[in-house]
Each structure stands twice: as structure tokens, then as C-alpha cells.
Structure 1
Amino acid sequence: MTASLPEPIEPQRDGPVRVLLADDDRLVRAGIAGILATAPDVEVTAEAADGLEAVDAARRHLLDLILLDIQMPRLDGIRTLERLQTDAPGTPVAMLTTFSDETYIADAIRLGALGFFLKSDDPHHLIAGVRALAGGGAAFSPRVGRWLIRRQARTRFDRSTRAQALVRELTPRQRELLAGVGKGQSNAQIAKSLHLSEGTVKQYLSVLFTALGTENRVQAALIAFEAGLDGDR
């Protein structure tokens, strides 16, 4: 049985994407901030040198995205992410590190991270990822994305069977929405392809995640992948 769709609420954005950048290395922060400054629609609103400063800044600023280094003093990125679920609920968080450690990736996704970037990523990829996250999407370093696929492939049969069963219970429109999520599309991209407003897509996705029993966009995207809705099978 599927849930009914609520009346859409139209979101409004005026101004650049407001980013909190947290990294204990001052030079790294300056480098990343410099990369983001090349995008006219992105603004580093606040910076933090450790997790505790990041939590405090998240409370004080109106933000569209938080970029967290994994290795930080006083409060590391994973524990900071956990704190932000309470202190800055609803603000997308992406993890930023120098390596792709499987344990960190798994922990970050479990705690609700919607992105995972390596500091060695191409600057254009970082900027595109920031825009996607601020637009309601998810974004991962290509190497992290490949790890996610390999991880899922290890238990593909059982997960695929479950995912296909979940998808069969969805309405045709919900399957279209899930396919867009599986392809990594932002709310704006999904809205354009389905001829809907972004507000409608946002509300529809909330109902879709409830129907799937997922907590965030990444988990829904994994179901789309396992069910073959991502367009890659």
C-alpha cells in the first residue's frame, strides 16, 4: 500500500550556496576555500579548525552544506557528523579526506553523510558535488562510488531481490523518482525530466523514502541500483 502525495511546497533560493568548511590544516582549508571561490554561486560562509568549532559554527550560521574533514582534533569528522544530526538537522553533510578508507565511508553513510570527497579530487568535481548536494542530491568521489558498487556487489543477489520487491510496491511515479535518485540527479534535474516543480519533487521524495524505509537519499540510491533503476544495467 502506497502513501498519498502531499501538496507541494515551493522552495526558494536567493544567493549562493553557503558552505561551512571544517579542516584542521589551515593551508588545506585555504586551498579548498580558494577552489570553491572560483564558483560564483558558492560561498564559504564559515570555517572551523576542529569538530567542536564546526558544531558551534553550524549552530550560528544559516548553511546549505557542511564539508567535514575526517581527521580533526578534539572531535573527529565522524563524531562531528553524529553531533550535527541533532545540532544542525536537515543540513547536508559531506566528508572530506585524503584517503578512501572503507570503515570511514561505511560509518559516514550510516550516520547520514550525503557525500564523500577525496582531497585529491579534481576541483571541478568538488564544485559540481557541492552544487549537487545543495540542490538536494548526493555526491561521491569516483573512487568512493566504485567502492560502494563493489560493496553492494558482494551481497547483490539478496539485496537485489529485496530491492525489486520494494520497487514493485511503488507507484509508477515513485519508480520514476527513484530512478532519478539512482542516477544521482538533483531535485532540479528530476523536476525538469518529469515536468514537475522542485517543491513537488521534494515532497514526493519524502513520501518515497518513507515507503522504502530509508533514512536518506544515499540509501534510496542503493536500492535503485540493486533494483536496476539506475540505468547502468
Structure 2
Amino acid sequence: MAIFPPEPRMAGVTFKLQDVGASEGRFGGHGGAPSVWPDFLKGQADCPVRVLLVDDDAHIRLVIAQELMSDPRTLVVAQASSLREGRKAIKQHEFDVLLVDLHLGDGEGFELLDYMKTVRPSAEAVVISVMENDDEVLRAFERGATGYLGKNSWFGNYPQAVLQVHVDQPTRHESVEVDRLSDREKEVLRMVASGYTSAEIATNLLISGMTVNTHIRNIYRKLQVRTRAQAVRFASLRGLF
């Protein structure tokens, strides 16, 4: 069984570090890495997860890049400091995960999410922002992001976030019937359908807003939809609640 640190909490989304289902004896340790990593997954010294980093803050970009490059499982293949440079880098470089700031000097990182899905449809994206914003989190998911990180709340774990979203990416052709919603996800979806905001859902269910947003992300993934309206309609038609 894979051993991961306790579930990290951050602005916007909690990445649940789950057992990846490997058998005992198939995991290789990595010196200095925060966890053990299965040797049959991408993210080995000879096959690292490739990252494209886009952030207009040179200092933040340096810190994140150093963390990623210090872990043998992740590799920064390119960096960009603006929307314009980001578009160019997406087109020119092969990568597995886009790590992008939402607020760039010449535009919004959301635009790069759209562009990436056109040019590199198999890649995953994690957006980063200085502060949590409920609308931004949901908008990022609806534009295809897999995760959301607060810049000031999770230093030291960027490699783990990159690895996790790469492992968690759903099988593109998997039937939605195979992966039904959990009872809690159905409960959240019913409240979404009733017009509750994430904050209101959190208050009513006595859970954190970050947990609510994680449930919504999982609902989108399982139903293979990109907006709240699509999720509610699909679930209603399929009798999922």
C-alpha cells in the first residue's frame, strides 16, 4: 500500500492523496521525496512528470521551480511569465501538467486552460492563486483544471500536487456508469441543484468550503461534465438522485 502524508489542506481544494492500488513490493523510495511512489507509474527518475510553469512573479516562479526540480519525480520543461509567453510555451513544449497562476500581468490564466485543452488535450492543469475565491475555483474546474492551490498555503508540496493530479486523471473513455456518485456527492449535487453556494453547502453539511469544492470537482469528473448546470441535468436524467 502506498504511504502518503496526511491529507493536505489548501485554498480552494483539498487534494486527497489516495492509495494508488499497487501491490506490496512494487514501490521505490525516492531520497528526500515526501512519500513513496509506485515504480510502475510515471514519475520516476528516468520518466518524470513534465511540468510547464506559468507565473508572472519571478520569485514565486523560482521557488516552485526549485521544489519541482529537487524531486526526481518531476521535471520543469519550460517556464513563462505572461499569457503571451504561456501560449507560446504550450505550443512549443511537450508536458504532462500545466501549473499556472490565475492572474498574469497581461491577462488571466483561465485563457491558458482553454488553449491548453485545444493544443495539449491530454495534459492536466493545476491553477494557483494568492487567495481562495469560490467563484474562481469553480470557474477553473469548468475550464478543465484538475486542481487549485493557494500560493501561500502549501509551499513544500508542489511536486506531490503535480504527481497526484497526473495519477488522478480519469480514463477518457471510461463509462460514467462505472463510477457512480457517493452518497455525500449526491447530497452536494442536490444542494447545488437547489441553488446553494459552496459556502452555504459547507455550513449546512458542517464541512469546510474546501471539502465542498473537492466534492464538486469529483462530481464533474465522474459525470464527465464541465458546469454545474450540466452536472445537475445529467444526474437528473440518469436518476442519480
TM-score range, shorter chain: 0.5 to 0.7
1:53 aligns with 2:85: yes
Distance 1:35 1:112 in 2: 25
Alpha-carbon RMSD across the aligned residues, in angstroms, is 3.6
CA spacing shift, 1:12–1:62, aligned 2, 3 Å? farther
Percent of paired sites with the same residue = 24
Equivalence for 2:139:
107
Question: Unpaired segments of 5 or more residues in structure 2?
Answer: 1-39, 171-183, 195-213
- After superposition, residues 118-129 of structure 1 pair within 5 angstroms as 118-129=150-161
User: Pairwise mapping of residues 116-195 of structure 1 onto structure 2 (< 5 A)?
Assistant: 116-137=148-169, 153=188, 155-156=190-191
The residue number in structure 1 matching 2:27 is none
Q: Distance in 2 between matches of 1:105 and 1:12?
A: 28
SS at match of 2:112: helix
Give distance in 1, aligned partners of 2:73 and 2:84: 27
* TM-score, with length taken from structure 1: 0.55
Q: Is the 8 A contact 1:50 1:76 kept in 2?
A: no
Q: Distance in 2 between matches of 1:31 and 1:15?
A: 23
Question: Is the counterpart of residue 18 in structure 1 residue 50 in structure 2?
Answer: yes
Q: 1:157 to 1:76 in 2, by over 3 A?
A: closer
Counterpart amino acid of residue 102 in structure 1: D
Deviation per residue, 1:115-136 (Å, 9 max, x gap): 1011113334322111011223
* TM-score, length of structure 2 as denominator length: 0.54
Aligned pairs, number? 154
- How far did 1:64 drift? 0.8
Give the whole-Å Cα distance in 2 for the aligned partners of 1:89 and 1:70. 19
Q: Mark the runs of 5 or more structure 1 residues left unpaired by the alignment.
A: 1-10, 139-148, 160-180, 186-207, 229-233
The whole-number CA distance in structure 2 between the counterparts of 1:73 and 1:22 is 11
Instruction: Give the letter aligned to residue 162 of structure 2.
Output: V
- SS of equivalent residue, structure 1 residue 67: strand
**1:215 and 1:33 mapped to 2: Cα distance?**
30
The code of the aligned residue for 1:26 comes to A
Other structure's SS at 1:46 match: strand
Superposed CA offset, 1:73-92 (max 9, x none): 22311122122221222210
Q: Does 1:65 pair with 2:104?
A: no
